[in-house]
Amino acid sequence: MTTTSSTRAAYETIIGLEVHAQLLTRSKMFCGCAAAFGAAPNTQVCPICLGMPGVLPVVNKRAVEFAIRLGLAMHSRIATSSRFARKNYFYPDLPKGYQISQYELPLCEGGWLDIAVDEQAKRIRLTRAHLEEDAGKNLHDMGDGASHVDLNRAGTPLLEIVSEPDLRSSDEAVAYLKALRELVVYLGICDGNMEEGSFRCDANVSIRPRGSERFETRVELKNINSFRYVKRAIEYEVERQIGVVEDGGRIVQETRLFDPQRGVSVSMRSKEAAHDYRYFPDPDLVPIAAPETWIAEIRAALPELPEAKRARFVSEYGIVPYDATVLTGSRALADYFEAAIRHGAPPKTAANWIMSELLAQLNAEGAEIESCRVTPKALAALFALVDAGTISGKIAKTVFEEMYRTGAEPDAVVAAKGLVQVSDVDALVAVIDRVIADSPKELAQYLSGKDKLFGFFVGQVMKRTEGKANPGKVNELLKARLGAPGP
């Protein structure tokens, strides 16, 4: 099943994501059990989360507050009255036989999240965000041939965040997930840990002929737990669907599971429809009333969010929106940028360097800004050396690479490697004279009108000084020496 790129280009990919973020509350959604990850199996359980008869759940107020935080940050409408429903199905990790979720009256509706795609901002609409409880975990690989159930996770609070089908490629899906993960971490409502499953997603994928406005049948890819897998799972699924359609087949609505080891997805079950779950309002829980005054309090306590930071970076530092988007991509990166400015770095220079040199180095080794050996102060000191004419902008890159590798201060690198810029007129004139003497052919051409050759002379001087000549001075002196080209 390999499609050619022209076949692939004939289709458009449509993706909508359902993200489950485990909320950072101390206790579970409807009981007092600890919600922490990693405890010995079945040590964080009580009659309520075990689904014993006769018990009554009580809503965790903190979880509601966290959900409202996200809703406010995503410009959603916050329902002043919302309700829990029972989603009925049978599975061994679900002791009650139903999951408490929200159905017709979710806490947050509408809203959006802006992501950066191909240096452009793109707005992804949010359908809804609602609270629900997680299920337990079935364990099949304990080595004793039996299956076990760990109910520590049963009843932990989840926020399900559902996007509209606005994403058009696996890269957009990854960009959205990263932005959303960043947001929940900024907000302090989720640790964003994909490996431990506290931030996971189901991807709904369909294809359609490019140019068509219709939505076609979608396939749901379940429980993807890394950014890399999201990309691979979607790409595999798109290829698969194109193959089916190109062979004259039809896509069936189903749930598939991605197997990262084999790089393929397998059908899990045909998709149930909402009515299969027999949703009905949970009679044990009263509707959640979130008074306007409480919502206003939560709003007032929000930290500065990526979007506001972005707008402030544009207005305060005069950088372009795309750069501001990249620099606010994580709180740590934004803090780094602002720290460099506080140490005297010109904002635009800092933005350019961080986005090109610094991020390139970090990406190359898959490192995070938090572990970067170049401090914001050292970066600002590097710019000061360029500004003072001690080194050229070109040499600064060499110095930076050394700083990045060793964590050394810029002046120490410059001194140790003898990289001080040559601005001395006599020294430069001597090099220029030698270059001209060695290039009679180019000189004749230049003088007869081939003025592009000016760059050749500049290049030769830079080469012979190992890049250390002051480029401004070289230009000036060469112009004086060569005169305007003839005839």
From 11-19, 81-89, 191-199, 436-444, give the range in contact with Mg ion by CB under 5 A.
11-19
- Exactly one of 206, 265, 328, 349 binds ligand ADP (CB under 6 A); which one? 206
Give the residue, chosen from 10, 59, 121, 162, that forms a contact with ligand ADP under the rule CB under 6 A. Answer: 162
If one asks whether residue 235 binds ligand ADP (CB under 6 A), the answer comes out as no
What is the rounded CA–CA span in Å between residue 165 and residue 120? 19
Site string for ligand ADP, 110-129 (x = CB under 6 A): -----------------x--
- Of the pair 102, 470, the CB lying nearest ligand ADP is at 102
| Interacting residues toward Zn ion by CB under 5 A | 31, 33, 46, 48-49
Q: Nearer to ligand ADP by C-beta: 232 or 310?
A: 232
Q: From Zn ion, Mg ion, ligand ADP, none, which one binds at residue 163 (CB under 5 to 8 Å depending on kind)?
A: ligand ADP
99 in contact with ligand ADP (CB under 6 A): no
Give the nearest distance from C-beta 229 to ligand ADP in angstroms. 18
From residue 479, give the alpha-carbon distance in Å to each of 450, 451, 473, 483. Answer: 14, 11, 10, 5
Residue placing its CB nearer to Zn ion in the complex, 49 or 386: 49
Tell me the per-residue interface mask from 15 to 54 with Mg ion, x by CB under 5 A, - otherwise. Answer: ---x------------------------------------
- Is position 161 an interface residue for ligand ADP (rule: CB under 6 A)? no
Please state, in angstroms and rounded to a whole number, the distance separating the CA atoms of residues 307 and 296: 19
Q: How far is the CB of 308 from ligand ADP (least distance, A)?
A: 26
Query: From the CB of 255, what's the least distance to ligand ADP, in Å?
Result: 9
The closest of 239, 238, 245, 205 to 222, measured between CA atoms, is 205
Q: How far is CA 153 from CA 90, 137, 191, 198, 312, in A?
A: 17, 7, 16, 11, 40
Which residues face 159 on adjacent strands?
Answer: 21, 131
Choosing from 215, 249, 311, 430, the residue that interacts with ligand ADP (CB under 6 A) is: 215
In the complex, minimum distance from the CB of residue 48 to Zn ion, in angstroms, rounded to a whole number = 5
Using the contact rule CB under 6 A, the part of the chain among 14-22, 431-439, 456-464, 472-480 near ligand ADP is 14-22
Is there binding between residue 254 and ligand ADP (CB under 6 A)?
no
In the complex with Zn ion, the residue whose CB is nearer, 33 or 224, is 33
Cβ-based nearer residue to Zn ion, 49 or 184? 49
Residue 16 vs 347, nearer CB to Mg ion: 16
Per CB under 6 A, the list member of 109, 114, 164, 254 interacting with ligand ADP is: 164
Q: Does 101 bind ligand ADP (CB under 6 A)?
A: no
Task: Verify binding: residue 280, ligand ADP, rule CB under 6 A.
Answer: no
Size of the site for Mg ion (CB under 5 A): 1
Select 14 or 414, whichever has its Cβ closest to ligand ADP: 14
Q: Report the residue from 156, 163, 241, 328 that binds ligand ADP according to the rule CB under 6 A.
A: 163
Task: Return residues touching Mg ion (CB under 5 A).
Answer: 18
The footprint of ligand ADP (CB under 6 A) covers 14-18, 127, 162-165, 204-206, 215-216, 218, 220
